[in-house]
Amino acid sequence: MQSVDMDLTCLPPGNTSLQQTDAPGAAEQQTMSVYLRVRPFSKEELSNNEDQACVVIENSQTVTLNAPKGSATMKSSEKGIGMSLHKFSFSQIFGPDTTQAELFENTVKNQMNDFLDGKNALIFSYGVTNAGKTFTIQGTDRKPGILPRVLESTFQYIGEHQYQGMDLKPYLRNGVQSLDFDQVKQERSTKAAIFASIKEYISYHLLVI
């Protein structure tokens, strides 16, 4: 069975929208965006022939889940207890071929821009174990996930507004320390050592790959 990443929100029969209406005729307002990412099968899953068409993407917003053959849900439905098929609706669904860049551009980027403009935003990933949450959020060196892309975009947004001096250093939760000449010199040395170790780490892993 294909595992799914992020929140899986079941809607009442006939309701395929994540929008909420306060009163008849009132303008619809979407209060939360819920995205579904369906990861590809692993090599082990493919070797075990686990594809039972359990997850069927009907369109960009609707997915159908079919109970696996031999599962407790399927056996119960065969006895007339419960259902073996459920439909779920999302703001947008991303299939197994979705790249990290495509996911970021179509889900997080706009919210990140709103956040940088002073608006509140909350983004989290939810799913069962081995659903692909870590890959989606962190990614890999060659396929960075949401977190490194947000950090990169944030620093690009800051651009020339960054303070280039090293005579100020964060202290505790919200304080700042003023550094003297010798302390600044030490900070520069520490920074150079960290950057050198990062370059060495990246070079090593590129050779290994």
8 Å CB contact between 99 and 41: no
Residue 20 falls in which region: left (phi positive, over 0), alpha (psi -120 to 50) or beta: beta
Q: Which of 142-146, 166-170, 181-185 has the lowest mean pLDDT?
A: 166-170
Q: What is the pTM of this model?
A: 0.66
The rounded percent of the chain whose pLDDT value lies above 70 is 82
Mean residue pLDDT across the chain: 81
Q: How far apart are CA 164 and CA 18, in angstroms?
A: 45
**Which residue is it, tokens 């989606």?**
136
State the pLDDT confidence band at 30, using cuts at 50, 70 and 90.
low
139 is in an annotated binding site: no
131 labelled binding-site residue: yes
Taking 80 as the threshold, does the pLDDT of residue 14 lie above it? no
The SS3 call for residue 134 is helix
Burial state string for 48-65 with b = 16 or more CB within 10 A and e = fewer than 16: eeeeeebbebeeebbbeb
| Residue 143 in marked binding region | no
What number is the average pLDDT over the span 131-141?
92
181: helix, strand or coil: helix
The 10s digit of each residue's pLDDT in 56-97 is 999 999 999 888 888 888 888 888 888 888 999 999 999 999
Pairing relation of β-strands 62-66 and 85-89?
antiparallel
Q: Which residues contact 130 (CB under 8 A, 6 or more apart)?
A: 3
Is 108 known to sit in a ligand binding site? no
Per the listing, tokens 């010798």 go with: 182
According to the annotation, is 130 in a ligand binding site? yes
127 labeled part of a ligand binding site: yes
